[in-house]
């Protein structure tokens, strides 16, 4: 999908963010802050995630979880997990069951990750992500569709509620407050894609 991968320095050069913003985000990565990138469709959330992930220290073990492989991480200790839909048998073999992002998040914890990268949160897997982030996997990152940084919190809470685990809304909000340290909102401004909020 992505024929051109931008570095964080290149995103600064094209005006997607300022040098000061880049320093804040690099410091957040160094300090192992959990980062959620929000924005609309086609605003460059995955491009920004790729650029930020390049600044993860090479000593860290990173588990990447996606529905479609879009995160490119040139690091020595990366485990890639990819979701799949149920697949009908082609011949006499048994059908392959679906593997969801939630399944992969639970499996990821067995791979001893230092950081977890989830391509996008859009449903019930938000609950499993919060569980992982609140059990010692600091410095993790993901993206979510939202119209502002503030709305990203509400959207994440709604995604958690779709898991139907019976968690009260107040507890959901507390779990989000503990798990998410930085929200970066990226939006289209005229014809450009720019970070508008951190």
Segment 73-124, tens digit of pLDDT: 999 999 999 999 888 887 788 888 899 999 999 999 888 999 999 999 999 9
Mean pLDDT of 155-179: 91
DSSP strands (E only) in 19-139: 35-39, 62-66, 78-82, 115-121
Can you read off the two tokens belonging to residue 84? 């799949």
Q: What percent of the chain has pLDDT over 90?
A: 75
CA-to-CA distance for 5 and 92, rounded, in angstroms?
42
Can you read off the two tokens belonging to residue 9? 């320095």
Mean pLDDT of 16-22: 96
- For residue 2, pLDDT beyond 70: no
- State the pTM of this model: 0.92
Instruction: Please name the residue that has the structure tokens 């991968």.
Output: 5
The pLDDT score that the predictor gives to residue 32 is 96
Is residue 51 classed as helix, strand or coil in its secondary structure?
A: helix
Element holding 37 (H helix, E strand): strand 35-39
């Amino acid at each position: 999908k992505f024929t051109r991968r931008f570095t964080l320095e290149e995103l600064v050069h094209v005006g997607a963010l300022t040098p000061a913003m880049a320093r804040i985000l690099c410091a957040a990565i160094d300090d192992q802050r959990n980062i959620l990138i929000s924005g609309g469709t086609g605003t460059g959330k995955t491009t920004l995630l790729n650029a930020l992930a390049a600044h993860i220290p090479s000593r860290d073990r990173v588990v990447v979880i996606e529905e479609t492989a879009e995160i490119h991480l040139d690091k020595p200790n990366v485990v890639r997990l990819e979701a799949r839909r149920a697949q009908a048998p082609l011949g006499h073999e048994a059908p392959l069951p679906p593997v969801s992002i939630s399944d992969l998040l639970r499996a990821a914890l067995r791979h001893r990750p230092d950081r977890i990268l989830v391509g996008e949160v859009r449903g019930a897997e938000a609950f499993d992500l919060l569980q992982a982030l609140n059990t010692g996997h600091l410095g993790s990152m993901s993206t979510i569709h939202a119209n502002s940084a503030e709305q990203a919190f509400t959207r994440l809470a709604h995604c958690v509620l779709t898991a139907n685990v019976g968690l009260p809304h107040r507890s959901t909000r507390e779990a989000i407050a503990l798990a998410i340290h930085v929200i970066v909102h990226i939006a289209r401004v005229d014809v450009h894609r720019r970070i508008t909020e951190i």
